[in-house]
Structures are given as C-alpha cells and as structure tokens.
Structure 1
C-alpha cells in the first residue's frame, strides 16, 4: 500500500513524529492528559478496592456469608482478567481513544445501575461487567499517554500516572468514611437507598470527569501513523500544537506544507494477516512468548507476579474486614487470628441483630496503607539504581515474608499495623520492578503482549486469594496466613532464579 506522502512533491519536508513533539514542546496537552489518566486510573482501581468496604457495609442487606464476600470482591477483578488482554488488541485495531471512552463510560453506566441492585447475584454479574468495561481503560491508558509524550518524558509520565494507584488507596477509605459516618436512608417504594450505595457513585465520578475531558483529545497520532492514516495524524498533531502553543503547526515549523513519516506496521497487525477470529489472532501472537531463549524465564516471572498479586492484593482486599473485626477487641496481646476466632465465637453466640457498622480504625488503617504505598513508591525509585533491581526485589520479598510470619505471633496493635503495611506494601511495590524485568527478558515486539499477559495472570492471583480467604480465613486463619507466606517464599526463590539486570 502506497503511503500518501510518497506522491507529494520533493519540496514537502517529511517530519518524524517524535521530532515534531520536541518542536512543539511539553505543555498543556501532556499535563492535562496526565490528569485525565490519573482520573481514569482512580476510577479503575476504586471500582475494585471499594468492594472491600462495600462488602462490610452491605452484609446485613445482602445477608452475605464470608464466601459471598470473597465472590463480591473477586467479580470486578474477574472481569479485568477476562478482558484486558483482548482490549489491548482491540485498541491496536480501532484506536486507543475509542477503547478508553467506551470502557470508562460503559463502566460509569454499569456502576450507576449497580447502586440500585438488591440481589447479591445480580450485583456480582453487573460488577463482572464493570470489570470487563474497566479492562478497556487498563489496556489502553498507558499506551495512549506515552504516545503523546517524547521518549524523554514517557517513562516519567507513566510513573506519575501509576502513582495514582496509591492516591486511590487513600481516596477510597477517606471518601467511604465521609459517606458512611452518617446514618441515613432514602425510601423509594420498597427500595431503601443507604449510604454504602453512594460509594459506587464516588468511585465512578473521577472517571466520568476524566472521560468528559478526554472527549477533547484526538486519537493517538503515533497509532494513526502506524495504521497509515497520515491525514488524520497530521490533524491530531496540529491540534496538539494549537493547544500547547496557541498557534498553528505550519507557523511553528515556518513552512507552508509538511508531512509526517509513516511508521511500519507489524506483521500481526497488517490487514493481510488478520485471522478470521480475534481470539485466534491473540493466541497466535501470544505463543512466541513461550519460545526459547526467554520462554522458561518468562513462565517463572509470571508465576512470581501471580504470587505477588496473590499475597499483596489478596490481603489488601480483606484488610478492611480483618481490621473491622479486630477493632472491637480490648485485648492488646492477642494475635490477629486469636482475635478473629474470638469474634466468630461471639457472633455465633450473639442473639443481636446483624451489624454492618464499620469502625473509624478501619478507615484510618486503610488510609495509612495508602500513604505507605505513596511513600514506598518514592523511596523505591531512589534505591533501584544504587542497590540494583534484583537486590531490591529480594530484600522486599524476604522482609514481606518475615512480616507475614510475625503476624502469627505479634499482638501489639501498632506492631500488627506495621507488619500488615509491610506485608501488603512490599510485594505490591515489587510488581512494578518485575514488570520492568519482564520487558527486558523478551524481544521488543513481544513486550506489550508480555506485560498484558503478566498483568492478566496477576489478576487471576487476586481472584484466587480473595476467594481462598473468603472460604478459609475465619475457620482456618493461621493456615490461610501460612499459605500466603509460603507463596511469598516461593516468589523469593523464583526471583533468585530469574536473570534480572542490576539496574534499569
């Protein structure tokens, strides 16, 4: 297929896209897009994390068991697991902006509907659809953000965008505390609207604002160039220049006519090689990830990331429930599992009505974990280069494993909070380092698929952990903690085997 610029006169200069971005300079386009990506990230993560509060606040209304709570927390994550990898391929075909807008607005609508659902199984099904919709945001946001930045700024932009995950870990408990601190209800016929339902609206609100702001933006010029849509790419770049500099691109370049260089399409994305079914296309493109020489280490790396998600996020999802059950205990010497067993005994012997009260300590401790993540990301960035990525990974996982073991024996509340913070925080921070290591393990043309595949498997770890803890935490608390600790120890062994370069 002949590029449109090949037929233009020789006097028309062809510009490289990244060089054009450098000429335009970093400005309002990039700053606003960073805020938009942060808002979309908050909604994406809050839809998952807010369930850890909602399962407690809704337990009397839904008459939910501990196993039911595990399913409620896993439903949205299951949707992400099923859809993210597929959304990534769709975004390469129809455009990142379209996928982002469809994903965020569809999830907003579904979350709004979820506010009025009264049946727990209907709630889980719609929440699964929320996860599938959010998968589009998760799959396209970082690629879209990076393609509006020069190579010099891409890593920094993605790093700041990722930090909004930590902001969400603070946003969720703080906003939930504000909403649930007042005891009110609104009756609409037989339906009663209680405060916990408002949490879902607060979760969708950042994404709604981000989606509306995104409507102003064009499709990624870099993607348009890879699809040979030169004219559309020129229009998009002209928009960036006008928004950043307040003048036309022709004036900036001081020329009457210009053209953008097309980018070569990959074999798997060319129209002549698209298989009839998208799933077959995905399968064929994924198989090379398991070829030699990187296949063995790629499998090990995925198992390590699965374990990190299992231990960190699985425990983080159940942390509000654990703290809320423990907050009523006056004994400062009992371990977490001893307090949970005492709580269960009291609940079985109690003749009082169901209670969905959430203590202020639950919100405070969860906000502290969020602040710890924010601080942890900052500290980790300063340690990686001088100490080496593998050393930082090994140290983080060993300390987290040791913290998990100590939870079997420590009873002091402050010490327990610190141990939980370390246990949740350190494997969570290690995930980002592991993803960077996986990128180095595989060839360039496989890196996007490698990260998407790894993140999907990680979310499978969250699903496994939330359901395991839902079934086992109360009757077999020590066993549940031991399983999580053993999986973290396996992660230490796997990371030791993987050939990770010392610096980024």
Structure 2
C-alpha cells in the first residue's frame, strides 16, 4: 500500500504505528521502561540484604523478619489493583510517574527510620508504589510497538530485571561493609541505612525522565483523544526517521468505540492525577466497577482466572525464596565457619541465628561475609543466558513453552533445596531457581499484553498481580514462621505451587501474532 494512498485514508492504529517506523524513539522507550523494571527488581529484593544487616538494630527474630518481608508484599497486594484502575482511567504515564515518586520518597524516609514498626510502614508504601510501576511499564511499552516487534521487545525486559538482580548485591557489597556508625542524640545511621537511601534515588530520577515521554497513543484513542494521539505518532515518526512531522503518511485515525462507560478525560486531564470533585470520584468508582465486572465475565473470565492463578503460584514461590536467599547464604557461611568438618541441610542450618526465639549475641557482632554478596551476584549472572534465550527464541518456541518449562523445572529445583548439604550446592540450585522463575515472571507479563484489550489491559495485569502479591505475602509469612521450626513445609508448598502454575500455563491461548485491540 503506497504512502500517497495512505495519506488520503483513515488509518487504524496498527498501520499508524507501523508508519512511524522503528528506531530511536522505541529504543529510548525500551531503555526507560527497562530501567523502571530494573528498579522494581531492586525495590522488591532490597530487604534481602537489610535482613542480615539490620537484625540487631531492630532486634529481629526470624518471625519479625517474616513480617518485615511481608509488609512490602502487602503494599503490592493493595497497590496493584489501585494503580491498575487509575492507569486504565487516567493514563499510563501519569500513574507511572506517581508510583515512582512514591517509591523514591518512601525509600528515603525508610532509610532514616529508627524503629522497626516505622521502617516496616515505609516499606509497605514502597511496595504500594512498586506494584504500580511493575504492572504498568509492560502495557505502556507494549502499546507503542507494532505487532511484528511487540512480543520480542517485551521479552527484552527480562534482561533489565536480571541486571537489577546483579546490581543490587553489587551496591550492597560496596556500601554495607563501610564502617558508618553515626549516633547523634539517639539518631543512629549505619551503612545499611545509606544502602537503602541510595537504592531509593533511581525511582525519583526515572520519574523525572518520564516527563519527557508521551502518553500511550493507544490509550488516547481508546478515550477519544484522536488528535492528541496523532500528534504523538507524528513525533514518533520524526524521531525514528529524522523526517519532518508533516511528512507522516497518516492524516487521521479510526476512532474505536469506547468500551468503558464514561471517560474522565476532557481535553488534558490526563496530565493530572487528582480527582477534584466528589462527582468525579463517583464516576471513577463506577468505571472501575464496570471494568472489573468485564474482567470477571466472558469472554475475559477464562483468561482472568488463569493468569491470576498462575501469578499466585509463581509469585508466592519466587519472591519469598529470592528475598530469603542472602539470609540463607549468611547462615550457611556462619555454620561452615564454626563447623568446617560438618555438613548439614538448609533446614538444619537455618536455625543457627535463633536460640529460644531471640537473636544470638554472637550474630550481632558479625558482618556479612563477602561470599554472601558474591553468591548473590552469581545468582544474577546465572539469569543472563535465559534473559537472552527468551527474546531470541520466543517466536520460534512460543511464550507458552517458556512458561511451562521454567515453572516445572523450577518446581523440581525447589524440592532439591531440601537435600543440599553445603553452601555450594545451595548456590547452584538457587541459581537455577532464580534464572527460571524470573524468566517465568517476565513471560507472564508479555503474554498478558496480548490477552486483554486496551481498556482492560492494565487492570487485568493489576488484578493478576494482586493475587500474586497475596501469594508473596502469604509465602513470606509462612517462611518466616517455619524456617526455624519445620522448613520442609514451605519447601514442599512452594514446589507444589510452581508445578500447579506450570500445568495451568498449558491452558493459556497462544499469543504474539495478533494486533492489539
């Protein structure tokens, strides 16, 4: 179809996005969305190094650590659906900015917290913000992509998550061993506090960078703002091709019939997140309720139930074990230093720092061994092969293959954790577990972009994330309560969750070949 002919016609969105070309704009967008995803990896796993570092500052038992790791998961549980609803009614970009600012500010405040309860409250709000960023960055990125490249581009996000898993222990290794012990009038600031503050800064920088990017034109078309969507497409065309905006070969866009009941947007309200009148709040709640009902009835009910169940099983296992791995490495290191001639399972070693429910005095005087940081970096490095394998082979093997393979094998590896007898065996299985489950997490997000239409896409992702965070919350509580008592129970439970999720993935429809609705 010639460009001259296209200039006199009304184009659908798929053709319009193809006409913008594929170049600089898309790579910049992938970079910022990838860094947001990298940042969420840091935000979710940061407590893995806070647990052993702040044990004595907060006088934490394993049960206290379970509650602490559960607090951001509770925030994510509540925040997932809240932010998803706003993103499907107010816009992707503005909500992304709000979530990043909330995460960054609360992260800085948590670094200054002097009390366990206050620290836990701020980490709750960190989780509340991270949930929105994680749930929205995939749909936001995907809606700018032509069908030909969409699944592949989304799969490249996995490599950013992997870099986040590598970067976090690197920052921790540089900062936490520093001899920082500032005590002024009862205000105490140690190296782990500085570590938390440093990890909060990228969220604020990314929020400011997002102001330079446009709203999703697909969302604008869905809400009736055709002219604004066309202007954004022209800007994309100019940035990708280097040509003048006026030479963009599409003169007008087809307006899709609205599915949602009422648009809250009038001219430019997508720029502001506030709801200024009770009437607007009532309309927003009505919109959310209508979209929720749409997800919970045919034709979307099947996909909604499947994705929620898969997320619950996968996320409960992944986030629990990933957060507790450095703690387990630290306990193995302590055990092997004290008993170099003995070997023991992870369950036997796991009770080393707790005696009758209180923290051992000797544990308060030890620093995290360098091997703990190095082992955690190795786990991240182990994810690199699978991070490249996914985008390079997803079109040939299909997203469903990656989901089933990663979850079933990860379930078998989780069972194997019970049988390890030294830190090296624990490290090897942890690497395999992390590589496969992180692959599964990213693939689920990629699949969901194709499974749901624009007006329900973020909310569907948010609903599934809500179930996933519920599983992570439950998993961290269970692990914290049972790690010193009977750790075989969580090991069996998490492996079963992964096997079930892998089986459910077989029921998902094939994705990656259709244009976005």
Quick check: TM above 0.5? yes
* Structure 2 counterpart of 1:170: 166
Corresponding position: 1:115 with 2:107: no
Bigger shift: 237-246 or 330-339? 237-246
Instruction: Kindly provide the CA deviation profile for residues 39-93 of structure 1, in whole angstroms up to 9, marking residues without a partner as x.
Output: 2222222111101111221111111221221222222222222122222221232
Aligned to 2:310: 304
Residue-by-residue CA offset, 1:239-270 (whole Å, 9 max, x unaligned): 334444555311x248xxx7431432432253
Q: Does residue 1:207 correspond to 2:203, yes or no?
A: yes
Give distance in 2, aligned partners of 1:230 and 1:425: 42
Indicate the structure whose relative CO is greater, using CA pairs within 8 Å and at least 6 residues apart.
2
CA distance in 2, matches of 1:221, 1:285: 20
Distance change >3 Å, CA 335–CA 500, structure 1 → 2: farther
* Corresponding residue number in structure 2 for 1:160: 156
Q: Does the Cα contact within 8 Å between 2:261 and 2:290 map onto a contact in 1?
A: no
Q: Distance in 2 between matches of 1:365 and 1:482?
A: 24
CA deviation after TM superposition for structure 1 residue 117, in Å:
1.1
Q: 1: CA distance between counterparts of 2:512 and 2:136?
A: 27
More displaced, 457-466 or 241-250? 241-250
CA 227–381 in structure 1, closer or farther in 2 if over 3 Å, else same? closer
Alpha-carbon distance in 2 for matches of 1:307, 1:15: 42
Q: Distance in 1 between matches of 2:214 and 2:234?
A: 10
1:320 aligned partner: 326
Do the aligned partners of residues 355 and 347 (structure 1) sit closer, same or farther apart at CA in structure 2, a change above 3 Å counting? farther
Provide the residue aligned with 2:83 in structure 1: 87
Structure 1 residues 339 and 135, CA gap change in structure 2 (3 angstroms): closer
Asked if 1 retains the 8 angstrom alpha-carbon contact of 2:353 and 2:363, the reply is no
Alignment counterpart, residue 457 of structure 1, candidates 453, 459, 467:
467
Is the alpha carbon distance of 1:323 and 1:438 closer, same or farther for their aligned partners in structure 2, counting shifts above 3 Å? same
Given that 1:174 and 1:367 are in contact with CA atoms closer than 8 Å, whether structure 2 keeps it comes out as: yes
Which one of 408, 416, 419 corresponds to residue 409 of structure 1? 419
2:484 to 460, 474, 480: 474
Pairwise CA distance, 1:190: 2.5
Could you say if the C-alpha distance between residues 351 and 322 of structure 1 is closer, same or farther in structure 2, counting changes exceeding 3 Å?
A: closer
* Structure 2 residue corresponding to 1:194, chosen from 169, 176, 190: 190
Shift, 1:204, TM fit: 2.4
Partner of 2:255: 263
Provide the C-alpha distance between the structure 1 equivalents of 2:134 and 2:50, rounded to a whole number of angstroms. 22
**Cα separation, 2, equivalents of 1:437 and 1:241:** 27
| 2:348 alignment partner in structure 1 | 338
Structure 2 counterpart SS, 1:267: coil
Q: Which moved more, 1:333-342 or 1:96-105?
A: 333-342
Q: Which residue, out of 404, 420, 433, partners 2:430?
A: 420
Are 1:43 and 1:205, in contact at CA under 8 Å, matched by a contact in 2?
Answer: no
Which residues of 2 match residues 124-163 of structure 1 at below 5 A? 124-163=120-159
Distance in 1 separating the partners of 2:185 and 2:304? 56
Report the CA distance between 1:132 and its aligned residue: 2.0
8 Å CA contact retained: 1:97, 1:219: yes
Residue matched to 1:102: 98
Aligned residue in 1 for 2:367:
357
1:184 to 160, 180, 183: 180
* Structure 1 residue 410, shift from structure 2 partner: 2.9
How far apart, CA to CA, are the structure 1 residues paired with 2:353 and 2:283?
A: 52
Once the two structures are TM-superposed, the CA of residue 315 in structure 1 deviates from its matched residue by 0.8
Gaps of 5+ in 1: 1-10
Check the 8 A contact 2:317/2:498 in 1, yes or no.
yes
Give yes or no for contact 2:74–2:469 (8 Å, CA) kept in 1. Answer: yes
Residues 1:293 and 1:337: Cα distance change in structure 2 (over 3 Å): same
Q: Is the 8 A contact 2:181 2:190 kept in 1?
A: yes
User: What is the TM-score of this pair, normalised by structure 2?
Assistant: 0.83
Q: Structure 2: any 5+ residue segments left out of the alignment?
A: 1-6, 265-279
Matches of 1:247 and 1:278, distance apart in 2: 40
- Which SS does the other structure have where 1:193 is aligned? strand
- Count of residues paired in the alignment: 489
In 1, Cα distance between equivalents of 2:230 and 2:475? 48
Which residues in structure 2 correspond to 1:381-420 (within 5 Å)?
381=391, 393-420=403-430
Aligned partners of 2:96 and 2:132 also within 8 Å:
yes
